[in-house]
């Protein structure tokens, strides 16, 4: 029921940066846990980073992106961001924004997956 829209993907060289945005015009994201998932070719969706928007900046990062990616939220803009730095070819994939109930912690959402709403995804390609 939650309508999510992702943007910010693109083609970058290794070591480059991108910032993804996830927004909703019809729902307040601070009432949900929001996550970013990556789907590489031939693979399932894997949790990258998740955040409890309406709580005290509780976040979760997969081991592969720790120290490189930062998830954040702007409640006033009703938007969740994923700042991706020092991108690697293995970061390539379609990035989806997903919502889950607040009862699902960011770690739970990212590791167990979401059965709520999903956006249509934004392509991130890291290639030299």
Q: What number of CA atoms fall less than 13 Å from residue 13's CA on the CB side?
A: 1
- Return d(Cα 76, Cα 88) in angstroms, integer: 32
Cβ–Cβ contacts within 10 Å for residue 119, how many?
21
Query: What would the pLDDT profile of 27-85 be if each residue is shown by its tens digit?
Result: 888 888 999 999 998 999 999 999 997 767 799 999 999 999 999 999 899 999 999 99
Beta pairing, strands 18-23 & 32-39: unpaired
**Is 17:85 a contact under the CB 8 Å cutoff?**
yes
């Amino acid at each position: 029921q939650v309508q999510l829209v992702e943007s910010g993907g693109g083609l970058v060289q290794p070591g480059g940066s991108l910032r993804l945005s996830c927004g909703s015009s019809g729902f307040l994201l601070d009432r949900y846990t929001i996550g970013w998932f990556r789907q590489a070719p031939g693979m399932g969706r894997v949790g990258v980073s998740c955040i409890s928007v309406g709580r005290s900046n509780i976040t979760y990062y997969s081991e592969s992106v720790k120290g490189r990616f930062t998830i954040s939220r702007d409640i006033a803009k009703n938007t969740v961001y994923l700042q991706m730095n020092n991108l690697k070819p293995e970061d390539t994939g379609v990035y989806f924004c997903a919502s889950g109930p607040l009862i699902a912690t960011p770690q739970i959402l990212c590791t167990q997956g979401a059965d709520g709403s999903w956006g249509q995804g934004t392509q991130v390609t890291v290639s030299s």
